[in-house]
Amino acid sequence: MRRYQRSHEPVVWSLFGAGGMVAAFLLPVLILFSGVLMPLGVVDSTALSFDRARGFAGHWLGGLLVFSVISLSTWHAMHRIFHSLNDLKIGARRLRFMICYGCAACITLGAGVLVLTLQ
């Protein structure tokens, strides 16, 4: 009987896929509002004032959304960077893995702490 080695790939690919969905659907809207419509004066600039943004992130549902956008986008980006470095054969595979996914885990942890301090 052949024994298969356990892999981290299903977890990483699910985070990559979820991050891809966030990057495809939420980030363009956020960029459109905060980077284009507000500076042009189409949207009232008080809509994204510090107090309103803090109030939004201070609510549990808003905090969950902010955490999801930050962490899932980070996992998506780091997975792409990891496989790009793999294709270019830069560095040792284990070192690339530790750096890319370690950074994603640290940023996720930091985002969680940030959101929890706003609660």
Containing 10, the helix (H) or strand (E) segment is helix 9-25
According to the model, what pLDDT value does residue 14 have? 85
For the record, the structure tokens of 91 come out as 């560095």
Neighbour count for residue 104 (Cβ, 10 Å): 24
Residues 6 or more apart from 23 whose CB is under 8 A from it? 73, 76
Structurally, how many domains does the chain consist of?
1
Rounded CA-CA distance 76/89 in Å is 20
Range of the domain at 65: 49-119
Q: Is 7 helix (H, G, I), strand (E, B) or coil?
A: coil
According to the model, what pLDDT value does residue 108 have? 96
- For residue 77, the domain's CATH number is 1.20.1300.10
Which residues of the chain are under the pLDDT cut of 50? none
Rounded CA-CA distance 37/41 in Å is 6
According to the model, what pLDDT value does residue 60 have? 93
Residue 114 lies in a domain: yes
According to the model, what pLDDT value does residue 4 have? 73
